[in-house]
Structure 1
Amino acid sequence: MNKTFFCLLLTGLSIQFSLAQRSELSVEKIMKDPSWMGTFPSNVKWGEHGENIYFYYNLQEDPSDSLYKINIKNSDEIVKVHWKDQEEFIPSNAVSNDAKTKKLYVKDGALLLYDVKRRTKQSLLNLGEDINDPQFLADENFISFTLNDNAYVYNFKKGNLRKLTNIKSGSKSSDSETSLSERDQWLEKENLGLLEVVRERKENKEASEAFREMTKNPEPFTFYSGARRVSDITVSPDLKYATFRLITRSDADKTDVPDYVDASGYTVNLPARSKVGSEQTKVELAIYNIEKDTAYLINTENLPGITDLPDYTEDYPDTDWEKEVREVIPSGAYFSKNGEYAVVNVRSHDNKDRWITRLDLESGELKNLDRQRDEAWIAGPGIGYSFGGGTFGWLPDNRHIYFQSEETGYSHLYLLNVENGNKKQLTSGDYEVFDPFLSNNKKYWYLTTSEVHPGERHFYRMPLMGGKMEQLTSMTGNNEVSLSPDEKYMVIQHSYSNKPWELYLKNNSAKGEARQLTSGQSEEFRSYNWRDPQLLQFEAEDGAMVPARLYKPEEGAKNGAAVIFVHGAGYLQNAHKWWSSYFREYMFHNLLTDLGYTVLDIDYRGSAGYGRDWRTGIYRHMGGKDLSDQVDGAEYLMSEHGVNAEKIGIYGGSYGGFITLMALFTEAETFQSGAALRSVTDWAHYNHGYTSNILNEPSKDPIAYKRSSPIYFAEGLEGNLLIAHGMVDVNVHYQDVVRLAQRLIELKKENWEMAVYPVEDHGFVEPTSWMDEYRRILKLFNETLLEQQH
């Protein structure tokens, strides 16, 4: 037999064998409406009195999820909540007093008080306009709230209402006389000289006006906000001060996204966002001294390091960098319960500094208590973003504040004494802390951590001033805990790698088993043996150990091909032990594995869950270590799992689409094919909040943008590329792939195609769109990774 013919025959048989692999799954099945999988609980919360657990669910095949409840004394029954009963609920944003016996909330613009013990509601105020942000003050008979951008206090025992601030928009108008022209001045003078009565009347009028001005009561103080919007008015618990933020919105140009399939039949432009580097919102913090009836801005110019230049400026020696006071974003004031102290969390606009400061309310000066500097950018669990948020507050002693910081490289919980500046770290280790909060009696912390494993989450209790943490959950996976109002019970929203979310009930202790309350999987979903992917680590080129999830086919089904999946969002974790938010992709990976593919899902550099250094590993070079981690993953598959070097594909959406493009354009020797979904193609066209953290601003750090944007590397395309994008994507605009398509056309590239989805935004909604997209992805891999000559 001819040797060449024999090789071709073997190749043909190999292709037939590979394509003969079958799966119980299909793209049509896994990409249809997710209701086929069953119903799973979401938005879990306790009732006011700890008797019922409420959650969204769907037992009756409704068009969307509805509110259901389980009574903990009759936990075998899941009951749908009637909409009339929901009308009587106390809103989740209701504010409790210290003893948690009363709650304030606003409904239909009116202020109401709920007595938890008596289970009674009392209408306190209805002023015909919307009341906002009610708060109990130090004397809990007094309640502060805002109305029309001003602060008020209400004594609900006596029924007294008092306006505390006088803030108005715009500026104080001037009543200065209109100046007369030289000609008109001459005419008036001539006229008054000729007509005595007219002259006398004018003199009398001027004398009367001067007298009234001397004897009238002084005008009350008014703070004019100009064109700035007033927000976050906070009254001190002792009623001496109020603070408020002044927001100046930028006039940056925004990109319109055309909707070609609007119901009107016309093309309608959807307002979207501006691009990175555009003028940003300015935020100022002001103090209203109620006793002195005056207001003034806080001073941020003396913060330590406020004029520091970032290290990246050293890469531009020919630029004349001037040290200037940087723009900052102050939070609102956090007052101690007794009103004696106020602290402000300040972030620099470039997000390289966070200062925790004590505010001198008399002068408006800030005293630095803690400065966190990161040459990349400040972030991490519990640290919040530029406009506030995150873990921050006061202990009941009125001396200590608590917050989270990445000072050690992982986000941990700290206390800081505002009187002497002493700082104490409460948690430590190579793990991260999530969502800490104080117990009702203020003696303990409750918190979630990844101490057991980066891919697990457990719930703990810890003494107020630190000490041994007691682990209260034990089920492997993710345990999202809500405590009952009396803290006697935990309702646990739990999932595992191959098991979607269900509810469990457990006593608030380390002992005892959690009792399952829901079981929502459909028979159709349960009938398939969903894989529990292997959690592993492989070594990257720089020695780092990279976390990943591996899907391995049966030895007899193995086709030698592999697909690497790149999760989106950049800062997100997907190599973990719980049910993935990428559930469609998880099911697709099961399908691929049935067909003989080996699938690797990597938590590359930039992913969440592994501390500061991993988070910032992409600083100033997206498509650097985050891409080399994919290449090293491919090397691992070849060396450890027998994957053929010519049969490796890659795909992902959003950030994953961006990495796919960079892989096909710059690592052609590794990746034969790729599907880039809703991809960023040029980071200079993405938004400011996300991009400027990682790459700084295009006009200031063009090096970072040029080496990070796929459109600059399109000439490197050698493999097979599928581009898929929604045309009404208001996050990553369709314009991104249009520009890239033109670039590929000009480069005369032939081995690419683009699928567009006229009705889809960034996250697809329609099952038909999901099906079409993933049929194309599967076809791409089958045709280019399996049907090739060797």
Structure 2
Amino acid sequence: MRRLLLAGLAAFTALPALAAAPAAPLDLETIMANPDWIGHAVESPYWSVDGRAIYYRLKRDGSEVRDLYRVDPAEGRSVKLDPAARAQADGPAVYDRHHRYAAFVRHGDVFLRTLADGRTVQVTQTAVEESAPQFSADGRALQFRAGEDWYSYDLARGVSAPVAVLKFEDDPQAKPTDALEDEQLELFSTLRRLEADKEAARADAKALAAADPGRMPEPFWLGDKIVAVDTELSPDGRWLLLVTRPKSYDAGRHPKVTHYVSDSGYAEGEDTRVYVGRNPPATQSLLLLDLREHKRYDLPIDGLPGIEDDPLATLRAQTVAALKKAGKADQAKALQAPKLRPVRIVSDAEDGGGGGIVWSEDGRNLAIQLRAIDNKDRWIASVDFARHALVPQHRLHDEAWINWNFNDLGWLKDGRTLWYLSEESGFSQLYLKPLDGKAKALTAGRFEVSHPQLSEDGRWFYLRANRTAPYSYDVYRVPSSGGELTRVTQYQGMDEFALSPDGERLWVLHSSPYMLSQLAVQPAAGGTPRELTNTMKPAFAAHDWIQPRIVQVPSSHGAGTIYAKYYGPADEGATLRPAVLFVHGAGYTQNVDLSWTYYFREQMFHNLLVQKGYVVLDMDYRASEGYGRDWRTAIYRQMGHPELEDLLDGKAWLVRNHHVDPKRVGIYGGSYGGFMTEMALLRAPGEFAAGAALRPVSDWRLYNHEYTSNILNAPQLDPQAYETSSPIYYADKLADPLLIEHGLIDDNVLAEDSIRLYQRFIELHKKNFWMSLYPMERHGFVHADSWYDEYRRIDELFDTYVKPAR
């Protein structure tokens, strides 16, 4: 079995050599200790304004504080900045179109720098956090936002002013619309004179505002029925787009978690997110404000292709018929499909980055990504400003659900050609589309591309891709005019990257299974990288860790190849061994790759298990990221079923190839992995000797709407999918030892999920099930004592029920 030390890959030879040390036996206390002993990942790097340095952050030992560092890419020397230096540090910068100025946010305020002489001006000094600086299309102003309000800083006058005053209330001076008010004006001349005076004052104020740019703009009275979700200002300063939702929207009843160990000494309740299907997400609307003419226009969605369709019509009819037959007419009526499907605007927070609203650099064109709340369609539309209408440019439809990743969108430098990512081929690829032309693919193949960045000169797209193998990621580039996709980096475990301001270099964050993300710089066209950081601690780096071997497990259910990580001894021998299957969380994530793993504690635990005589298999079962649309959506309406087929194939593969005793196989995992552990024991009793389910979902009706409704639809509409997919409905099948572990203040998967299943086991008179609750832990544990206790119990479970020979 090959082993991996920190400097084991040729690309890392620029790192200082680490002295080898004899391998010491692993123990749980060390593995589950505060991870400061391992080292710290390089976080949030960005180029300095002049491109001569790179800033990055590192966690401080014994604290959650992140320190700021600056490294010179030419010399490779990092400097930790003291508070005085941090107060003068650059932030991530934006530039005007002619590269005369740069702007950035530092400690919540906006700064402007003249690139010719380095002169820096503080534009704001407020208690409000400003963000999103951008230069106007003509280069005369710097625009930025505070909350949902936008401001413009005139570079010549040195004055900031709001670009619009938004009032979410009715205009108190609006002309009367009530019949009684009209009658009053007809009857009384004095009232007419007073009204005429008000109108004259309004007209005078409007004329002065138009003639004097130094005056506050006239308010937009938007009514009291809506609130702003997002606002985006055009670079030419002419238009402001608002995303709104009804003010009256109610998300539904919030369940609570209880803090039993609190500062006050009293048990304290805390509201959490609502359950799936209680109230669907608020539908969003688009409002376009003409700031020059002071007019507002609604942007209706009725022209989007398929917006009047009901992709769930067949399922809806079946459910409605069943409800009516059961005498539940009110529930059946509530499932009636709306005439126009409600939508929301694609956002960074919910849809994997890229943003849903993009202006061209000159401000003359606007593209908006909209997503159906039923999760079946994503639209890209441009805006016709003359007709104040959306113009459909692209529709992505999926019978299962649209991915929350791969929603990046932008404009080429011509401001007339869109670029976007789409899974329409089955894999995320990059496309171009002129506003009045047909789309064409810039990349194609059975691999995924993501995080596209257009070079400053507009000639190249740089992107992340797993072209050589599903588990191997690097930076690639492709000409924006079309051409060959070329590999730029050679890490195989590339995490993030960014182009320098001049477009000549890349900083790259890269990692490996036992090396946290490190920073390097290299030519943008490809070439030898220069390693800039080495933040691993000697005790961890010197250990003789087992290199996970990436293996291909054949599917017996027609799914093709299931990629997995295998951990085993160098010399397996012929003796039958016990085995453990680890199941990663999140469902849609990728753990079989060549990067540092989110499950680094589990990976060390796997080393410990091998030391104790086990072998371990960690599989990217169906639903995992990195393998295309069909792999992702195989679980639609049947969570826990294709994945279990894959896990059982993994067990069979171990038995065939690694001398594993089929009666001595354990299984464990957290979150989605905990859910799958429960599904494995309850749907395939006798296949696993024991299982440990950490923070598991036991009933999908209790999970959140954004994740769950994608895969299972709403529970009122598709109750069968929830019963098919929830372990609690298989509780009567429990026959094998099950350990459940859950944080009591988990606000993601609530502890009540596990407690309800535990109660079912009690009522069913089941045996050999246990639950361990952690009063001060949320979904992701943070306290070393809890981590140790959690894995001590798992270790004891496996040693008791899996390891002994039968």
Structure 2 unaligned residues grouped into runs of 5+? 1-22, 207-218, 322-335, 347-355
Matched residues in 1 for 2:58 and 2:125: separation? 35
Residue of structure 1 equivalent to 2:486? 470
Matched residues in 2 for 1:162 and 1:32: separation? 52
Pick the aligned partner of 1:212 from 194, 197, 201: 194
Shift of residue 106, structure 1, vs aligned partner: 5.0
Residue of structure 2 equivalent to 1:484? 500
Answering whether residue 801 of structure 2 is matched by residue 781 of structure 1, we say: no
Q: CA 1:154 to 1:745, structure 2 compared with 1: closer, same or farther past 3 Å?
A: same
Residue of structure 2 equivalent to 1:32? 33
Contact 2:316–2:717, Cα closer than 8 Å, also in 1: no
Answering whether residue 94 of structure 2 is matched by residue 95 of structure 1, we say: yes
Per-residue Cα deviation, 1:162-197 (whole angstroms, up to 9, x for no partner): 6553421233459989999xxxxxxxxxxxxxxxxx
Where 1:647 maps in the other structure, the secondary structure is strand
Q: TM-score, normalised by structure 2?
A: 0.86
Contact 1:225–1:246, Cα closer than 8 Å, also in 2: no
Q: CA 1:412 to 1:170, structure 2 compared with 1: closer, same or farther past 3 Å?
A: same
Shift of residue 336, structure 1, vs aligned partner: 2.5
Contact 2:590–2:626, Cα closer than 8 Å, also in 1: yes
Contact 2:592–2:618, Cα closer than 8 Å, also in 1: yes
Residue of structure 1 equivalent to 2:735? 718
Answering whether residue 464 of structure 2 is matched by residue 448 of structure 1, we say: yes
Residue of structure 2 equivalent to 1:643? 660
Q: CA 1:595 to 1:125, structure 2 compared with 1: closer, same or farther past 3 Å?
A: closer
Shift of residue 151, structure 1, vs aligned partner: 4.6
Pick the aligned partner of 2:578 from 561, 570, 573: 561
Contact 1:504–1:517, Cα closer than 8 Å, also in 2: yes
Shift of residue 57, structure 1, vs aligned partner: 3.2
Contact 2:185–2:192, Cα closer than 8 Å, also in 1: no
Contact 2:257–2:750, Cα closer than 8 Å, also in 1: yes
Matched residues in 2 for 1:467 and 1:381: separation? 25
Alignment of 1:209-608 (within 5 A): 209-217=191-199, 219=202, 222-248=220-246, 249-279=249-279, 280-311=281-312, 313-314=314-315, 316-317=317-318, 319=320, 322=337, 324-330=339-345, 333-379=357-403, 381-383=405-407, 391-418=408-435, 420-478=436-494, 480-512=496-528, 514-544=529-559, 545-553=561-569, 554-556=571-573, 560-608=577-625
Matched residues in 1 for 2:39 and 2:105: separation? 36
Where 1:466 maps in the other structure, the secondary structure is coil
Answering whether residue 53 of structure 2 is matched by residue 52 of structure 1, we say: yes
Contact 1:564–1:650, Cα closer than 8 Å, also in 2: yes
Contact 2:134–2:235, Cα closer than 8 Å, also in 1: no
Matched residues in 1 for 2:177 and 2:633: separation? 61
Where 2:603 maps in the other structure, the secondary structure is helix
Where 2:413 maps in the other structure, the secondary structure is coil
Matched residues in 2 for 1:685 and 1:539: separation? 34
Contact 1:559–1:596, Cα closer than 8 Å, also in 2: no
Matched residues in 2 for 1:123 and 1:406: separation? 44
Residue of structure 1 equivalent to 2:328? none
Q: CA 1:651 to 1:668, structure 2 compared with 1: closer, same or farther past 3 Å?
A: same
Where 2:644 maps in the other structure, the secondary structure is helix
Q: CA 1:203 to 1:507, structure 2 compared with 1: closer, same or farther past 3 Å?
A: closer
Shift of residue 102, structure 1, vs aligned partner: 1.7
Per-residue Cα deviation, 1:728-750 (whole angstroms, up to 9, x for no partner): 10100111111111111001111
Per-residue Cα deviation, 1:484-523 (whole angstroms, up to 9, x for no partner): 33333333322223433333333334333x3333333333
Residue of structure 2 equivalent to 1:764? 781
Stretch deviating more after TM superposition (591-600 or 127-136): 127-136
Contact 1:308–1:323, Cα closer than 8 Å, also in 2: no
Q: CA 1:159 to 1:498, structure 2 compared with 1: closer, same or farther past 3 Å?
A: closer
Identity in percent: 36
Contact 1:273–1:687, Cα closer than 8 Å, also in 2: yes
Alignment of 1:121-200 (within 5 A): 121-124=120-123, 133-146=132-145, 150-158=149-157, 164-173=163-172
Stretch deviating more after TM superposition (711-720 or 77-86): 77-86
Matched residues in 1 for 2:226 and 2:127: separation? 25
Answering whether residue 768 of structure 2 is matched by residue 751 of structure 1, we say: yes
Per-residue Cα deviation, 1:629-678 (whole angstroms, up to 9, x for no partner): 11111111112222111111100000000000011111112111100000
Matched residues in 2 for 1:158 and 1:294: separation? 27
Q: CA 1:85 to 1:205, structure 2 compared with 1: closer, same or farther past 3 Å?
A: farther
User: Residue type matched to 1:538 in 2?
Assistant: V
Contact 2:557–2:645, Cα closer than 8 Å, also in 1: no
Q: CA 1:461 to 1:339, structure 2 compared with 1: closer, same or farther past 3 Å?
A: same
Matched residues in 1 for 2:104 and 2:241: separation? 21
Contact 2:73–2:532, Cα closer than 8 Å, also in 1: no
Matched residues in 2 for 1:665 and 1:655: separation? 15
Contact 1:546–1:603, Cα closer than 8 Å, also in 2: yes
Contact 1:40–1:57, Cα closer than 8 Å, also in 2: yes
Alignment of 1:700-711 (within 5 A): 700-711=717-728
Answering whether residue 687 of structure 2 is matched by residue 658 of structure 1, we say: no
User: Residue type matched to 2:102 in 1?
Assistant: K
Contact 2:49–2:102, Cα closer than 8 Å, also in 1: no
Structure 1 unaligned residues grouped into runs of 5+? 1-21, 181-201, 384-390
Q: TM-score, normalised by structure 1?
A: 0.87
Per-residue Cα deviation, 1:752-781 (whole angstroms, up to 9, x for no partner): 110111100000011111111101101101
Compute the RMSD of aligned alpha carbons: 2.9
User: Residue type matched to 2:233 in 1?
Assistant: V
Matched residues in 2 for 1:585 and 1:319: separation? 46
Shift of residue 88, structure 1, vs aligned partner: 1.4
Per-residue Cα deviation, 1:247-306 (whole angstroms, up to 9, x for no partner): 334341111111111111011112210010122223211011234322122111232111
Per-residue Cα deviation, 1:78-127 (whole angstroms, up to 9, x for no partner): 322112111112332x4321234422345577653122342221244668
Stretch deviating more after TM superposition (109-118 or 242-251): 109-118
Matched residues in 2 for 1:246 and 1:397: separation? 30
Where 2:639 maps in the other structure, the secondary structure is coil
Contact 2:100–2:114, Cα closer than 8 Å, also in 1: yes
Matched residues in 1 for 2:737 and 2:372: separation? 44
Matched residues in 2 for 1:569 and 1:537: separation? 22
Contact 2:685–2:733, Cα closer than 8 Å, also in 1: yes
Q: CA 1:558 to 1:494, structure 2 compared with 1: closer, same or farther past 3 Å?
A: farther
Matched residue count = 736
Matched residues in 1 for 2:185 and 2:677: separation? 84
Q: CA 1:23 to 1:602, structure 2 compared with 1: closer, same or farther past 3 Å?
A: farther
Q: CA 1:37 to 1:464, structure 2 compared with 1: closer, same or farther past 3 Å?
A: same
Q: CA 1:128 to 1:51, structure 2 compared with 1: closer, same or farther past 3 Å?
A: closer
Shift of residue 237, structure 1, vs aligned partner: 3.5
Q: CA 1:30 to 1:147, structure 2 compared with 1: closer, same or farther past 3 Å?
A: closer
Q: CA 1:149 to 1:440, structure 2 compared with 1: closer, same or farther past 3 Å?
A: closer
Matched residues in 1 for 2:456 and 2:771: separation? 56
Between Structure 1 and Structure 2, whose CA radius of gyration is higher? 1
Contact 1:498–1:531, Cα closer than 8 Å, also in 2: no
Contact 1:23–1:594, Cα closer than 8 Å, also in 2: no
Stretch deviating more after TM superposition (36-45 or 146-155): 146-155
User: Residue type matched to 1:592 in 2?
Assistant: L
Matched residues in 2 for 1:462 and 1:274: separation? 43
Contact 1:381–1:411, Cα closer than 8 Å, also in 2: no
Shift of residue 351, structure 1, vs aligned partner: 1.5
